[in-house]
Amino acid sequence: MTALLAIAHTGQVSGAEAVLLRALIAARRRGWTVRCVGPPGPLALALAQHDIPHVPLPELSLGAGPAPVAAAALAAATAAAARRIRRVSRDMQADVVLVNGLLGLPAARLARVAAPIVWLVHDVLRRADRLAVLRGAAPSVDLAIAVSEAAASAPRAAGIRTTVVRNGTRWPVDAAPQPPPSPPVVGCVAALTSWKGQDVLLEAARLLPPGVHVELAGASFPKDGEYVTRLHAMADGPELAGRVRFLGRVDDPLECMRQWAVCVSPSVDPEAGPLHVLEAMSVGVPLIGTDHGGTPEVLDGAGVLVPPGDPAALAAAIDRLLTDIALHRSCAKAGPLLVAERYQASARVDELLDTVEAAAQPTPRGRLRHLTVLAVPDYLPRLGGTTSLTANQAETLLHNGHDVVVLTRRAQDGLARHESVNGVAVVRLGRPGEGRLAAKLTVLSMVIWLARRRARVGAFHAVMYPDFAAAAALAGLGSRSAMTWAGEGDATDTLGHPGHRAAGLSRLRRRLLARVTHVALTPRLAHELAEVGVEGDVRVMPIPVDLAHFHPPQPKERDDARRHLGIDKDELVVTFTGHLRTLKAVDRLIEAVAQLRERDLAVRLLVVGGGRGADDDQDLELQQQAAPLGAAVTFTGAVGDVVPYLWASDVFVLPSTREGFPNSLLEAMACGLACVAPASAAGDQVLTPATGVVPPTGSAEALADAIADLAAAPERREALGRAAALAARRYGLESFAGTYTALIDELERQ
C-alpha cells in the first residue's frame, strides 16, 4: 500500500486543485494512505468531505505590499511549511511526495524528505521569476508529470525527468442541444484575471452582430479588481450594453455550456491543459482556443484556433462557427468522440496514479541519466538543413519515449529563452547576436548548463558545430557525446591536418573531441575525418527526409501551386531553396539564367530562402545582380514550407561550392524534380545518371548548359524526377529512426 503526501501551495480550488482533488480521492479508493498539506480554504473543506486528512500550511505565494516585505514573508512561510512537511512525511512514512504546482517546490526541497518528489506541472512556465524558482528546486525533483507537451518544456529544459499525463473530464455526460438555443450565446469559463483574455473576447463581441450575447463564468480575486472593473465598463458600453452577463463562479460549468452556441478560451498567455476546453468538448459545444500552450494538443477537429490577443481573428472565428452549419456540426460531433476515446477523467486519473506509484519505487542508477540533449546552431522557427535534421532527430526521440532538450543559440532578440516547439523543449543560450563574442558566450553558457545537469544527461549530440561537442566534453560528458559533421572542409578547418603544426585552439579541440563519437553524413566526410586524424570508427548516417510531407504532387496540386505563384502553364521554372550565403553560389545560378535568356530560353527562377543575419549573407547583392532580369527572378525570402514552390517547379538546381549532404537536394528529389548539382554541392554523392544531372563544374556556363538540356527534353525531365522520387525513399524517416535511436541508446550506456 502506497503512502502519498500531497503538497498544495494554495487553499483555493481552480483547475490545478480540481485535478489534485480528483487524484487524491481515487488514491483513497485504491487503498492508499493519503494526506494533504496546504493552506486552509475551499480545498481543505473538499478534502474533509472525502475523509482525507489535511494539515494546514501558510499560503505559499507572494502577497501584496512592497516586494521586499512580500518576499521576506514568503521566505518565512516556506521555511515554516518545510518544517511541517518534513514532520508529516516522517510520521506517515511517506513513499512519495506529490507537489501540486511550482510554488510548493521550494518548501518540498527545503524539507529534505526521504521519499521521491513528484511534481504535477499545471503551467507553461515562461516568466523569469518562475523559471528561477524552478532552477532552484529542480535538483530535488525525481519526476515531473506535465498535463501537456507545452507544460513539459520547462521541466525538461531544467533537466528533470518528465512525462506527460493529460487532464480528463467527466464522461459520459448529457450533450448540448442541437441546434443550439437562439439567440446565440458565446461563453467563457475562466477566472476573471487579465491573462485569461476576457477583454479580448469582449473586443471581439463588439465586431459581431447585436444578436450575439456573451456569458462570462468565473470568480475574481482581489488583485484583479482593476481588470474586472474594466470588463464591466466594456460590457456597459454602447456596443455591448445588454449583451454581456457575468455569471460569477458556477458549480456546474457543463450546465452553462449546454446553453452556449460556442465556447471560447481566449487566453493571452498559454494554458497548459485547460479543463474547460475538455468540458466544452464533452458536451459537444464547438470551442475556439488560442493557438499556443496545451489547447492545440487536444482540440483536434473539435473547434478552431486563433492567434492570441487578436479580437478581429476571434470575431471572424465566432462568426464562422455561428454561420457555417456544417462546420458547427462537425466540431460538435468531434468533441464527445475525442473525450470518450482519449480524455475520460477516470482513465487519466488511473494513468496519473500509476505513474506516481512507479515513481515511489526505488530508481535504478541508470534511470537517473535520462535526458537526451541535442545542440545545433539554429533551431525552429529559424530554417536550414541542420535545423531540419535536428528537428527530425528530436521528434523521433520524443516519439520513442526520450526526454529531449534542444540547446541552441539565442541568435536574435524576440526568441524565447525557453519554449516548446512541436513538443520539444528548446533552450536558447547566450546573448542575442551572430558575432564571434556571442558564439563564444553561447559555448560558455552551454558548458555551465551541461555541468549543472551532468548527472541527468544520458546522451549529448552536437550537429555541425564542434565547439558544442567540446562544451559537452568540458562538462564531463565526452564519452556520452556524439558530433555530426555536416559540411565538407569543416573537420579540416576545425582540427587541422595531423602532420601540420596545429594552432592552440585546434589542439584543444582535438583533445576535447578525442572521446566523442563522430558521425558523418556521407562517406566522403568520413574519409575527411580519417585524413585529419580522427581515430576509431566514424558512423555514416545520412540526413533523413519526411516523405509524408515531401512527395510528388498530384496534377491538381501542381496546377494550384503554379496558379498561386502566377506561373504560366508552359513556363519553365527553375528553383533553388536554402540560405543565401556565399557558399551557396546563387550568383552563378542567376548568371546562368541570364545566359539562358540571351539564348531566347524563357526560364523563370525562384530563389526560395533568405539570409541568416550573418556576415556571409548575400541576399541584397543577389537582388541587385538579378534586377536587370526583372520578373524572370523571384526572391521569396525565408518561407516556412518549401513544398508549394517545389511542386510548382520543373528543375531544381543546387550550385553550392561546398556542401555535406544537402537536405534541400533530398527534398527536391522526394518531390519528383529533375535535379542539377555539381560535385561541389554533393551531386556526385546523391545523384546518379538516372536520378539527376551532375555538371562537370559549378560554373554559370555549366549550369546553363544542364538547364538548357533539360528544358529541351521534357520526357527526360519527367523520367529523372520519377527516378529521383524513388531514390529518395531510401532516406525516409522510418529507416533513419532505428539507426539514430540505437546511437543514442549506445551513448546512454557509456
pLDDT tens for 178-227 read 889 899 999 999 999 999 999 999 999 999 999 999 999 999 888 899 99
With cut-offs at 50, 70 and 90, classify the pLDDT of residue 502.
low
Q: What average pLDDT does this structure show over 286-305?
A: 95
Tell me which of 134-143, 296-305, 360-369, 608-617 is least confident. 360-369
- Higher-confidence residue: 510 or 212? 212
Residue 528 has φ and ψ, to the nearest 5°, of -60, -40
Question: How many C-beta atoms surround the C-beta of residue 638 within 10 A?
Answer: 16
Amino acid in position 194: S
Question: What length does the chain have?
Answer: 750
Q: Name the E strands within 415-489.
A: 418-421, 424-429, 457-463, 481-485
Beta bridge pairs of residue 607:
576, 635
Residue 529 burial (C-beta neighbours within 10 Å; 0-12, 13-18, 19+): buried
Residue where the block lists cell 480575486: 221
Confidence label for 308 from pLDDT (cuts 50, 70 and 90): very high
Q: Up-side HSE of residue 278: CA atoms within 13 Å toward CB?
A: 26
**What are the percentages of helix, strand and coil residues in the chain, rounded to 5?**
45, 20, 35
pLDDT at 659: 87
Beta strands in 623-709 (DSSP E): 633-637, 651-653, 674-676, 692-693
Alpha-carbon gap, residue 575 to 607, rounded angstroms: 6
**Which is nearest to 218 in space by CA: 50, 58, 12, 61?**
12
pLDDT, residue 397, reads 86
> What is the mean pLDDT of the segment spanning 165-189?
95
The C-alpha atoms of residue 576 and residue 664 are separated, in whole angstroms, by 8
Write the DSSP symbol of residue 53: -
How many whole angstroms from its chain centre is CA 431? 21
CA 687/CA 39 separation, integer angstroms: 68
Cβ atoms of residues 224 and 194 within 8 Å? yes
Strand pairing of 244-248 and 303-306?
unpaired
Q: Is the pLDDT of residue 241 over 90?
A: yes
Q: Check pLDDT > 70 for residue 678.
A: yes
pLDDT at 99: 97
Instruction: Check whether 520 has a pLDDT greater than 50.
Output: yes
DSSP H or E stretch at residue 136: helix 128-137
Q: Which of 468, 480, 360 is nearest to 115 (CA)?
A: 360
Give me Rg for the CA atoms of the chain: 29
CA–CA separation, 307 vs 309, rounded Å?
7
The answer, yes or no, to whether residue 365 has pLDDT greater than 50, is no
In the sheet with 633-637, reading across from the earlier edge strand, the strands are 633-637, 603-608, 572-577, 651-653, 674-676, 692-693
Share of the chain above pLDDT 90, in %: 67
Q: For residue 156, which of 166, 178, 173, 141 has the smallest C-alpha distance?
A: 141
Closest CA to 474 of 519, 500, 501, 440: 440
Record the pTM: 0.71
Question: What pLDDT does 402 receive?
Answer: 83
Q: What is the pLDDT of residues 148-158, one digit of tens each?
A: 999 998 998 88
CB 636 within 8 A of CB 462: no
d(CA 409, CA 440): 10
Can you tell me the mean pLDDT for 661-682? 94
Average pLDDT over residues 529-543: 84
What is the model's pLDDT at position 429?
92
Cis preceding linkage at 381, omega within 30: yes
C-alpha 375/C-alpha 359 separation (Å) is 29
When pLDDT is cut at 50, 70 and 90, the band that residue 367 belongs to is: very low
Q: What is the pLDDT of residues 414-428, one digit of tens each?
A: 788 888 888 788 899
Task: Give pLDDT, residue 437.
Answer: 85
pLDDT of residue 261: 97
Confidence band of 65 (pLDDT split at 50, 70, 90): low
Q: Which residue has the cell 545542440?
A: 375
Least confident interval from 152-161, 246-255, 487-496: 487-496
pLDDT-derived band at 544 (thresholds 50, 70, 90) equals confident
pLDDT at 718 over 80: yes
Interatomic CA distance for residues 676 and 332, integer angstroms: 50
With beta carbons less than 8 A apart as the criterion, state whether 198 and 192 touch: yes
> What is the pLDDT at residue 137?
92
Which whole number is the average pLDDT over 559-569? Answer: 91
Cβ(162)–Cβ(155) below 8 Å: yes
Q: Which of 56, 57, 46 is nearest to 23 (CA)?
A: 46
Q: Is 289 helix (H, G, I), strand (E, B) or coil?
A: strand
What's the number of CA atoms in the CB half-sphere (13 Å) around residue 114?
10
CA angle 625, 627, 628 (to 5 degrees): 95
Mean pLDDT estimate for the chain: 91
Beta bridge partners of 312: none
Nearest to 299 by CA among 316, 312, 317, 315: 317
Q: How far apart are CA 12 and CA 37, in angstroms?
A: 13
Q: Match 565547439 to its residue by C-alpha cell.
A: 467
What is d(CA 232, CA 238) in angstroms, rounded to the nearest whole number? 12
Give the best-scoring range by mean pLDDT among 385-399, 485-499, 508-522: 508-522
Q: What is the dihedral of CA 384, 389, 394, 400, to 10 degrees?
A: 150
Name the band, by pLDDT with cuts 50, 70 and 90, for residue 620: confident
Which residue would you say has higher pLDDT here, 528 or 263? 263
Residue whose C-alpha is closest to residue 286's, from 235, 238, 323, 244: 323
The pLDDT-based confidence of 39 (bands split at 50, 70, 90) is very high
CB distance 725 to 553 below 8 Å? no
| Poorest-pLDDT segment among 356-370, 464-478, 562-576, 648-662 | 356-370
* Contact assessment for residue 97 and residue 118, using Cβ atoms and an 8 Å cutoff: yes
pLDDT above 90: residue 363:
no
Higher-scoring residue by pLDDT: 536, 327: 327
Report the range out of 125-134, 198-207, 541-550 with the highest average pLDDT. 198-207
Averaged pLDDT, 505-517:
85
Predicted confidence (pLDDT) per residue in 438-484, tens digit: 888 999 999 999 998 888 899 999 998 899 999 999 999 999 999 99
Residue 229: Cβ-neighbour burial (10 angstroms; 0-12, 13-18, 19+) = exposed
